[in-house]
Structure 1
Amino acid sequence: MPTEQITFPGHAGTPLAARLDMPEGPVLATALFAHCFTCSKDIPAARRIAGRLAAMGIAVLRFDFTGLGHSKGEFANTSFSSNVADLIAAAQYLAGRNMAPQLLIGHSLGGAAVLRARAGIPSVKGVVTLGAPFDPAHVAHNFSCALAEIESKGSAEVTLGGRPFTISQAFVDDIRSETLNVAIAHLNAALLVLHAPQDAIVGIENAANIFTTAKHPKSFITLDGTDHLISRAPDAEYAAEMIAAWAGRYIDMTPPAPPPGTPEGILRVSEVTPDGFLQDIQSGPDHHAYADEPLAYGGSNLGMSPYGFVSAGLGACTSMTIRMYARRKGWPLQQVSVEISHDKVHAQDATTGNPSRIDQFTRVVHLQGDLSAEQRSRLLEIADKCPVHRTLEHGARVVTRLQSPLATS
């Protein structure tokens, strides 16, 4: 998916670094993603979830809070309240591009921040939390050993995730003064809570408290076996799938009608990660699949192989063509099934006489119903008239061009 690198002014006017993951087709909705405490917009969970949502037509803005990642400003001068203000500033930036966010997604402390920020972003119709604490002060356990020094000196340097951060007393006071009960109870938006029962950083009881405090509509999905950072790619993919499916109930993501005479829509294929071969396939806004290779070939076996999809196309087209003919004739065909196998076989080159290898698709057609032998024979003939069969037999022309890089600002 194309990604724009952008900057926009944060709550104090300081430039914040962001990435806007855009669909390759029409933008059906816009989401704003808030990362976890001391993380960045580029952690694997944020990148994978944003990329997957973009593949399904949802543009996602993910940015570094003030003083983190590539954003300017001093982290020591920030607080939970400033994070909330940064979120509102990000929403205002999107609104200025005519992309006011309908969806807020927050991970860990970012989840608490989106719950608080919702009241300041009127365009939002849905809020999603991932491993979020019910009480912002929960984050203090990450630096509990330094609390005494912070209180006596006004600040202290702590190491979080292998990096040094200065935590001020003002930050501690701010998270201790924040309670989310009222914000959650008056969210005025649909809520989706995703949490892992095995989360060792933010316990599952936090999800229970958020869920019970919220009013309907609200939903809960367990991320069983997932760690707090959602570091495994399959877990992030699953979370994104659930978010998109849920959001479709509360956000109108109907694609614009194509102009008259428009050919069949574009099917887009994007690699999920540079590692392995897993591919994300999106056909319009409604149809999604994965393509992959078996484990033996370096893949993760999470989807059919490319030739598997070719075989599926042949089988589906064969079945549809037979059904259409039998229906028109009024024949008692009860059910059609088609088995396809693909292999490379030796063939004699008609021009040179040299042996070569060609692709062979073996097709076995099963017809159920009170059909005569003549009708069965005719339906088998009709199978050869399926458009995909003809394309494979006669060949096709593939035209390839390189897309120009997307301009960034």
Structure 2
Amino acid sequence: MPSGKITFTGHAGHALAARLDMPDGPHLATALFAHCFTCSKDIAAARRIAARLAGLGIAVLRFDFTGLGHSEGEFENTHFSSNVEDIVQAAKALSDRDMTPTLLIGHSLGGAAIIKAASLLPDTKAVVTIGAPADPAHVVENFRDALPRIRAEGSAEVYLGGRPFRVSKDFVEDVNASDLEAILGKLKPALLVLHAPRDELVSIDNAARIFMAAKHPKSFVTLDDADHLITRPDDAEYVAQVITAWVSKYVELTPPAPPPGAPEGIVRASEADPRGFLQDIQSGPNHHTYADEPLAYGGTNKGMSPYGFLSTGLAACTSMTIRMYARRKGWPLDHVRVDVSHDKVHAQDAETGTRDRVDQFQREISLDGALDHDQRARLLEIADRCPVHRTLEGSSKVLTKLVD
């Protein structure tokens, strides 16, 4: 997944830092991600979601609001409405690249800002909120004790997440004046609300208010015991999975037709967690799964082992080949089942580098239907013509090169 740094001009003329995550394959759509209050574009949840969407063919722009992260400007001079304006400017920067965003994603206060921005961006097809407040003024709860000083002095330094930020009176007045529920009632894009029942910063009733205020199409998915910042890798991964499964219903993701004679495409394995063995497996823009090792070998057992995928290819290809032949012949084959076992353990072979024995696959085929003896025998012969079978029995060559 190519990821490049770019800048664009924010609402007040400052240079805002952004990262554009591009698909390796066809670019099918574009998303815009708005981070949480006082966070940055590089939080774990944003990175994970961007990576998954890019694997689906969706480019993702995530940026730092004015005065945060690597963006220019003073946080003290910003407010909720300026965040919305920054989002609109980010969408314009994408449109200037012929990448007009159709999917908007916002985390926490960024989710509230995304809802308001969607009403200003007519090309938006889908909106996703993650742990978002129904009322932007909810963010004031983070520094309520400082409100008297902010009102008296015009601004005050507060500590959020252990870091100092100077919050202005204008910010407080602006979030208090924002009416998100009125905007939700007129929202045209599809809406997905993601929220954790145990969120201690933005309670789950906010999700209920957002969901009830919006019109259909709308969806709600609980994030169970995730925290507000989606800090655990498993939770960030789940959020990414849900968004990618949901968005394809509302955003056109039809890939361009491959040229005649083109191979099926590239299968990519990317580390999901460098501390273990879990791999994101992406095949083209539409198919995603996991590869992993069993718990006994240091994995998390969230996906098949590499040898499991090898056996899967043989089993699936065998079943498909038998079905195609029986269908062409008009034979009464009701159901095919293929069981394949492989006499190796990937984790063990990876450690020992074993190469001196021939691989053996045990394949058992079950054919249901009113087939006679000759038909069953013929289908058993056809199984050996499966392309994966022939590939495994033949000699293969793997050409490897290191790329940047």
TM-score for the superposition, normalised by structure 1 = 0.92
Which amino acid in the other structure matches residue 256 of structure 1?
Answer: P
Equivalents in 2 of 1:333, 1:120: separation in Å? Answer: 57
- Pairwise CA RMSD of aligned residues? 1.7
CA offset digits 1:113-164 (Å, max 9, x no partner): 0111112222211111111001111001111121122222222211111211
Equivalents in 1 of 2:284, 2:392: separation in Å? Answer: 24
After TM superposition, give the deviation of residue 377 of structure 1 in Å: 2.8
Which amino acid in the other structure matches residue 226 of structure 1?
Answer: A
Equivalents in 2 of 1:358, 1:148: separation in Å? Answer: 77
Partner residue in 1 for 2:351: none
SS in 2 for 1:289: strand
Partner residue in 1 for 2:96: 96
Indicate if the aligned counterparts of 1:322 and 1:382 stay in contact, CA closer than 8 A: yes
Equivalents in 2 of 1:274, 1:262: separation in Å? Answer: 33
CA offset digits 1:178-206 (Å, max 9, x no partner): 12122211222211111111111111111
Which amino acid in the other structure matches residue 386 of structure 2?
Answer: C
SS in 2 for 1:357: coil
Q: Relative to structure 2, which stretch is displaced further, 196-205 or 30-39?
A: 196-205
After TM superposition, give the deviation of residue 272 of structure 1 in Å: 2.0
| Residue correspondences, number | 395
Partner residue in 1 for 2:150: 150
Task: Rate the CA distance shift 1:8–1:307 in 2: closer, same or farther, 3 A.
Answer: same
SS in 2 for 1:381: helix
Partner residue in 2 for 1:399: 399
CA offset digits 1:341-392 (Å, max 9, x no partner): 11249xxxxxxxxx93232211111222233333333322222221111111
Which amino acid in the other structure matches residue 14 of structure 1?
Answer: H
SS in 2 for 1:358: coil
Equivalents in 1 of 2:369, 2:25: separation in Å? Answer: 43
Indicate if the aligned counterparts of 2:52 and 2:244 stay in contact, CA closer than 8 A: no
Which amino acid in the other structure matches residue 95 of structure 2?
Answer: A
After TM superposition, give the deviation of residue 213 of structure 1 in Å: 1.2
Partner residue in 2 for 1:31: 31
Indicate if the aligned counterparts of 2:67 and 2:75 stay in contact, CA closer than 8 A: yes
TM-score for the superposition, normalised by structure 2 = 0.93
Unpaired stretches in structure 1, ≥5 consecutive residues: 346-354, 405-409
Which amino acid in the other structure matches residue 260 of structure 1?
Answer: P
After TM superposition, give the deviation of residue 215 of structure 1 in Å: 1.8
Which amino acid in the other structure matches residue 231 of structure 1?
Answer: T
Equivalents in 2 of 1:330, 1:184: separation in Å? Answer: 56
Any runs of at least 4 consecutive aligned residues in structure 1 with deviations exceeding 6 A, and if so which?
A: none
After TM superposition, give the deviation of residue 224 of structure 1 in Å: 1.7
CA offset digits 1:33-59 (Å, max 9, x no partner): 000001111111111111111111111
CA offset digits 1:62-86 (Å, max 9, x no partner): 0111111111111111111111111
Which amino acid in the other structure matches residue 196 of structure 2?
Answer: A
Equivalents in 1 of 2:376, 2:299: separation in Å? Answer: 41
Indicate if the aligned counterparts of 1:21 and 1:60 stay in contact, CA closer than 8 A: yes
Equivalents in 1 of 2:191, 2:377: separation in Å? Answer: 57
SS in 2 for 1:166: strand
Partner residue in 1 for 2:56: 56
Which amino acid in the other structure matches residue 181 of structure 1?
Answer: E
Indicate if the aligned counterparts of 1:319 and 1:336 stay in contact, CA closer than 8 A: yes
Partner residue in 2 for 1:348: none
CA offset digits 1:267-300 (Å, max 9, x no partner): 2222223332222222222222111111222222
Partner residue in 2 for 1:232: 232
Partner residue in 1 for 2:189: 189
Equivalents in 2 of 1:358, 1:145: separation in Å? Answer: 72
Which amino acid in the other structure matches residue 228 of structure 2?
Answer: H
Indicate if the aligned counterparts of 1:137 and 1:178 stay in contact, CA closer than 8 A: yes
Indicate if the aligned counterparts of 1:340 and 1:364 stay in contact, CA closer than 8 A: yes
SS in 2 for 1:296: helix
Partner residue in 2 for 1:407: none
CA offset digits 1:16-42 (Å, max 9, x no partner): 111111111111110000000011111
Indicate if the aligned counterparts of 1:2 and 1:22 stay in contact, CA closer than 8 A: yes
Indicate if the aligned counterparts of 1:344 and 1:357 stay in contact, CA closer than 8 A: no
Which amino acid in the other structure matches residue 390 of structure 2?
Answer: R
Matched, 1:174 2:174: yes
Partner residue in 2 for 1:253: 253
Equivalents in 1 of 2:314, 2:112: separation in Å? Answer: 49
Task: Rate the CA distance shift 1:261–1:377 in 2: closer, same or farther, 3 A.
Answer: closer
Q: Relative to structure 2, which stretch is displaced further, 252-261 or 102-111?
A: 252-261
Question: Which structure 2 residues correspond to residues 124-139 of structure 1 after superposition, within 5 A?
Answer: 124-139=124-139
Unpaired stretches in structure 2, ≥5 consecutive residues: 346-354
Which amino acid in the other structure matches residue 380 of structure 2?
Answer: L
Partner residue in 1 for 2:343: 343
Equivalents in 1 of 2:188, 2:327: separation in Å? Answer: 51
Indicate if the aligned counterparts of 1:344 and 1:358 stay in contact, CA closer than 8 A: no
Which amino acid in the other structure matches residue 49 of structure 1?
Answer: I
Indicate if the aligned counterparts of 1:25 and 1:57 stay in contact, CA closer than 8 A: yes
SS in 1 for 2:359: strand
Equivalents in 2 of 1:181, 1:337: separation in Å? Answer: 53
Matched, 1:366 2:359: no
Partner residue in 1 for 2:278: 278
Partner residue in 2 for 1:200: 200
SS in 1 for 2:396: coil
